[in-house]
Amino acid sequence: MNAPFEFTISATHQRARAGIFHTPHGPIQTPIFAPVGTQATVKSLTPAQLDELGATLVLANTYHLYLRPGEALIDRLGGLHTFMQWPRPILTDSGGFQVFSLAGTRKIDEDGVTFKSHIDGSFHRLTPESSVAIQEALGADIIMAFDECAPPDDRAYNERALARTHAWAERCRLAHQRRDQALFGIVQGGVFADLRAQSAAYIASLGFPGNAIGGLSVGETKAEMHAMLETVDAILPQEKPRYLMGVGSPADLVNGVLRGVDIFDCVLPTRLARHHAAITRTGRLNLVNAIHQDDPRPILESCGCYTCQHFSRAYLRHLILAKEMLAATLLTIHNIHTLLQLMGDLRQSILEGTLEPFAAQFFADQEQTS
């Protein structure tokens, strides 16, 4: 029997790691991709379909659930696992990112953020303490420190925001009570290596059971993202899981794993599905295009997902043009399958010591297609 939140590393390959992160709702085999269930549902899928896809960790958004239906209601109904009927591990973010990206008028002070709901315009306030309290009420296995998300290339802004993010991380740590939840700290610092290094060192010093890397995949270049990951990788403790927030294109997943990341989440597979796009390892296919009109082939001949095992591109295009909900469901199934399979292959190649040729082939295939 493993203690909650023990992280065992089964194998490493250069910077990459294959491990198991233990949670009260079961083990998470890393590296892992977590589908996003913003409003306590991974859009267009039942939990049964998600389970069939082999999903383990699912993310839900504190900002959205706080506003609707409210964490008190979810708590009364037995917590998020019972509410959304996901019996495996759940991660909630802190609400910070959404306050800075989604909410209307906001006012930041040292104590927290006042913002306007994107739903009804009402005013709300989040602080490190209230974010933790909300996440305790929601009851996810992994919860996140409340941070400030700055534009990646504004140095002065990042310096100010970093000081606040660090102070808030410490306040979150002190506020957090539930022993059956792992609170992760978040490294910020934009695209500035010295700030990232400083942040990684500070967050690491707080001794969280896991550490996240925030504020990436928000407009910086790929080279900048990789440089920041390498900077942070060298400083964060090896023996704790690292979570790269909001990242999920196939290439970003491979690049993240190569740079020591264990956990990823992204709305990409669900959002692209609603915009009619299928993800493959080498690119995207938009099924609304007329070229698919008569095509009896699946999205990908080699794909083992329910969608590709059954449906033609012509049928998917028909569903899209007819505005049928099933289009989003079938594309979501394919897209999540694609990312979960990629993570499984990455994990396997780490365990087998073949990550290097696997990654080389992956990037060669991408090169050839682009």
Q: Is 265 labeled as catalytic in the residue annotation?
A: yes
Q: Which is nearer to a copy of itself, 164 or 317 (CB)?
A: 317
Nearer to a copy of itself, 181 or 329 (CB): 329
Residue 135 backbone class (left: φ over 0; alpha: ψ -120 to 50; beta: rest): alpha
Indicate which single residue of 137, 187, 257, 328 sits in contact with a copy of itself (rule: CB under 8 A): 328
**Rounded CA gap, 172 and 343, in Å?**
31
| Region from 160-168, 221-229, 310-318, 351-359 binding a copy of itself, contact rule CB under 8 A | 310-318
- Alpha-carbon 11 to chain mean position: 23
Asked if omega into 152 is within 30° of 0 (cis), the reply is no
Binding mask of the shown chain, residues 70 to 99, with x at each position contacting a copy of itself by CB under 8 A: ---x--xxx----xxx--------------
Q: Three-class SS string for 89-109?
A: CEEECCCHHHHHHCCEEEEEC
Sheet containing 242-244, strands listed edge to edge, beginning at the edge strand earlier in sequence:
32-35, 263-266, 242-244, 211-213, 182-187, 142-144, 90-92, 58-60
| Minimum CB distance to a copy of itself smaller for 61 or for 131 | 61
Closer of 309 and 370 to a copy of itself (Cβ) = 309
Q: Which member of 7, 13, 34, 44 binds a copy of itself (CB under 8 A)?
A: 44
SS3 210: coil
Selected from 312, 341, 354, 366, the binder of a copy of itself by CB under 8 A is 312
Catalytic residue among 141, 147, 262, 265: 265
The reply to whether 34 sits near a copy of itself by the rule CB under 8 A is: no
Helices (H), 86-217: 96-101, 128-138, 155-175, 193-205
355-369 vs 250-258: helix axis angle to the nearest 10? 150
Active-site residues: which are they? 93, 265
Q: Which residues bind a copy of itself (CB under 8 A)?
A: 39-41, 43-49, 64, 68-69, 73, 76-78, 83-85, 293-294, 296, 306, 310-312, 314-315, 317-319, 321-322, 324-326, 328-330
